Amino acid sequence: MVEKQTQRVTMHTVAHRAGVSQTTVSLVINKNAENIPEETRNRVWQAVKELGFRPSAAARRMRTHRSNFIGFITDQIATTPHAGKIVKGAQDVGWENGKIILLINTDSNPEMEKEAIEVMMEQEVEGIIYASMFNHAVTPPEMLREVPTVLLDCFTQDHSFSAVIPDEIGGGYTATEALLKRGHRRVAFANHNTETGGSVGRLIGYKRALADYGIPFDESLVCYEVGEANGGYRCSQKLFTRSDRPTAIFCFNDRMAMGVFDGLRKLNLSIPSDVAVMGFDNQELIAPHLHPGLSTVELPHYEMGRQAVMYLLNQIGKTFKEIEPQEIIVPCPLVIRDSI
Amino acid sequence: MVEKQTQRVTMHTVAHRAGVSQTTVSLVINKNAENIPEETRNRVWQAVKELGFRPSAAARRMRTHRSNFIGFITDQIATTPHAGKIVKGAQDVGWENGKIILLINTDSNPEMEKEAIEVMMEQEVEGIIYASMFNHAVTPPEMLREVPTVLLDCFTQDHSFSAVIPDEIGGGYTATEALLKRGHRRVAFANHNTETGGSVGRLIGYKRALADYGIPFDESLVCYEVGEANGGYRCSQKLFTRSDRPTAIFCFNDRMAMGVFDGLRKLNLSIPSDVAVMGFDNQELIAPHLHPGLSTVELPHYEMGRQAVMYLLNQIGKTFKEIEPQEIIVPCPLVIRDSI
């Protein structure tokens, strides 16, 4: 039976109960006790159990300088549905390797970012993940150069930090190719009207797929609007009221596709018989629930979280300078439903 | 200028550089230095700056037994879009009060829950939030009774743990009343077919609002289906093909409402002129993007996260036994768009 704790149980209390020295207790509980008689070891473990003693992680840290913490700094966990998957992927790999994630959301506030990193340094994190909730160029605080750091779903223009990013070009190619393979030759692209890793990369992938299938790029089939449902709606009204309307459309994300669905319905065009529609993201709240279910390309958030921690695990103990910056590009798989 | 660190800078290094004792350094950096001449203090701070010394959180913990950690155990952060807001609410209050959130996702795996709590105890967390991603009865691990703990969006049948939960009854009342106030007298309810805090509470609220407006409860207007888009779709086909069809419907959640939208469209019924539709959740990815925008009741996830930490801040340092279990019920506000 564990006795009720009325005050803090320390190694000293355990030593007293077992009738041994604190050093002996320390050696036993840290599994460093080959030279201690089994009978003594058993007495120590018995006392540990009776008193409900729990070795302090702080004390272990003081000894080993291994905190087992990985810092996770993120810009906007609250507003994106992807955040949970990225965090989960990071945690799952961390957990398998005895690491705990210290998560701090900073709302992209530079002052708070600085403080968050200070707090993490004080906690002696063994590495830091600096995560954004959409793929774009960032300028991370210089302080991050003090520990192994990896950017997640973002990158620096000078490539001086390692980064885990989705294969935007490959994803754009995959989405477009899925439409071309079904015989479409006039494939529109409803793109996001702000320059991000996604909007730039997916356009490159779209163009490459067209080229590989021998179809000339037609600028007039690319529509730029905000990457939301209403942006998709507006694109549909521009593209599908033309006499030479396209037969298929690739959308920057599932939300734009949701707007395209509404727009096509308004124009009395059926999906996929009149127009095939591809999304991007595989947003679970949207894609499977549209009618018909939306074919799309998945942003591999869980896998990106995993990869970030796997990368850090190999860098722990190195100084930032010893690390050769590296880009880890994670593939975006095709998810086929009924809209193409 | 901060010098490049080639090895760990300790209080000892600082003392050496400043030409004072380690005790003096400790007193100065812990702001306990009234009796130390200003000139000496300045010398210490100068050395701290030059060496880039950072006091170790582990060392402070050893001294003060204040970890400043709050543990956050959650069942399924990856699969719900609410998770981010709950975590953000908890973190924001924690941060204002110098607390760091240790987040561990357990996938509701009891073995992992146990390990997660062990890890948190080793880290000397000052309190624990045990969070579920939807409001239902749980049986939390007994070990949680060792520290101040609050359940978040879940509860125990015996009310032996404090809990922060949304006002499901009030929310159901608010949603139904919004429809009644617009003159509807035949108001259907598409409820989730599994017993949860939400399905039970919202039905009570629905009945109370009807009673307050003098309308007899009609069992045949309540439809039970899975709380997803397809469940809502099925309810719409049952309820709105009747000759005495209702003129309004309150849906258990926004996803069911999304299915009702599709179903009504199929029946050529307009929203809100033929049928008014209310949701529940205020799911940001869905509610504002439907056509017309969905009127709904908000599940106050951010506020629940905040309340959980605010509650714990008042309990820190108490034993579990000293705490009188308490239920903190957070109101669900009405969000009016165009569907009613």
Burial class (CB in 10 A: 0-12, 13-18, 19+), A145: middle
The confidence score (pLDDT) of residue B107 equals 87
Domains and CATH numbers, chain A: 11-55 (1.10.260.40), 69-166+301-331 (3.40.50.2300), 168-297 (3.40.50.2300)
Return d(Cα A56, Cα B122) in angstroms, integer: 5
Residue A61 forms contact with B (CB below 8 Å): yes
B residues 269-308 lying closer than 8 A (beta carbon) to A: 283-286, 289, 291, 302
Cα nearest neighbour of A305 on chain B: B78
Q: Contact, A202 vs A169, CB < 8 A?
A: yes
What rounded mean pLDDT belongs to chain B? 91
Return d(Cα B103, Cα B77) in angstroms, integer: 10
A residues 198-257 lying closer than 8 A (beta carbon) to B: 228-230, 255
A5-24 per-position pLDDT tens digit: 446 778 888 899 999 988 88
The confidence score (pLDDT) of residue B71 equals 94
* Subunit contact A81:B285, Cβ cutoff 8 A: yes
A203-260 per-position pLDDT tens digit: 999 999 999 999 999 999 999 999 999 999 999 999 999 999 999 999 999 999 999 9
- HEC string of chain A equals CCCCCCCCCCHHHHHHHHCCCHHHHHHHHCCCCCCCCHHHHHHHHHHHHHHCCCCCHHHHHHHHCCCCEEEEEECCHHHCCCHHHHHHHHHHHHHHCCCEEEEEECCCCHHHHHHHHHHHHHCCCCEEEEEEEEEEECCCCHHHHHCCEEEEEEECCCCCCEEEEECHHHHHHHHHHHHHHCCCCCEEEEEECCCCHHHHHHHHHHHHHHHHCCCCCCHHHEEEECCCHHHHHHHHHHHCCCCCCCCEEEECCHHHHHHHHHHHHHCCCCCCCCCEEECCECCCCCHHHCCCCCEEEECCHHHHHHHHHHHHHHHCCCCHHHCCCCEEEECCCEECCCCC
Residue from the list B105, B118, B229 with its beta carbon closest to the beta carbon of A88: B105
The confidence score (pLDDT) of residue B168 equals 97
**B-chain residues near A81 (CB < 8 A):** 81, 84, 285
Mean pLDDT of B124-151: 92
Given a cut of 90, whether residue A58 has pLDDT beyond it is no
B198-221 per-position pLDDT tens digit: 999 999 999 999 999 999 999 999
* Subunit contact A67:B80, Cβ cutoff 8 A: no
The confidence score (pLDDT) of residue A7 equals 61
More confident residue, B172 or B106: B172
Binning pLDDT at 50, 70 and 90, where does residue B7 land? Answer: low
Give the count of Cβ contacts less than 8 A between chain A and B.
Answer: 127
Q: Which site among B146, B282, B289 would you substitute to test the A interface, given the most A Cβ atoms closer than 10 Å to its Cβ?
A: B289
* Subunit contact A122:B57, Cβ cutoff 8 A: yes
Return d(Cα A300, Cα A153) in angstroms, integer: 10
Nearest CA-CA distance, residue A6 and chain B, Å? 9
Given a cut of 50, whether residue A1 has pLDDT beyond it is no
Provide, rounded to the nearest whole percent, the portion of chain A with pLDDT above 70.
Answer: 97
The confidence score (pLDDT) of residue A5 equals 45
The confidence score (pLDDT) of residue B2 equals 44
Cα nearest neighbour of B118 on chain A: A54
Return d(Cα A69, Cα B129) in angstroms, integer: 19
Cα nearest neighbour of A232 on chain B: B289
B63-114 per-position pLDDT tens digit: 777 889 999 999 887 777 778 889 999 999 999 999 999 989 898 888 889 9
B206-265 per-position pLDDT tens digit: 999 999 999 999 999 999 999 999 999 999 999 999 999 999 999 999 999 999 999 999
B316-328 per-position pLDDT tens digit: 988 878 889 999 9
ipTM: 0.79
* Subunit contact B102:A102, Cβ cutoff 8 A: yes
Nearest CA-CA distance, residue A214 and chain B, Å? 37
Give the end-to-end CA distance of chain B in Å, rounded to a whole number. 64
Q: Whose CA is closest to A281, among A334, A323, A329, A242?
A: A334
The confidence score (pLDDT) of residue A70 equals 95
The confidence score (pLDDT) of residue A31 equals 73
**A-chain residues near B54 (CB < 8 A):** 118, 121-122
The confidence score (pLDDT) of residue A242 equals 92
CB atoms within 10 A of CB A187: 25
Residue B59 forms contact with A (CB below 8 Å): yes
Tokens read off for B88: 């953000």
Peptide bond just before B292 cis, omega within 30 deg: yes
Q: Which site among A100, A253, A283 would you substitute to test the B interface, given the most B Cβ atoms closer than 10 Å to its Cβ?
A: A100
Residue from the list A56, A84, A102 with its beta carbon closest to the beta carbon of B84: A84
Q: Contact, B149 vs B121, CB < 8 A?
A: no
Q: Contact, B135 vs B125, CB < 8 A?
A: no
Mean pLDDT of B334-339: 97
The confidence score (pLDDT) of residue A2 equals 44
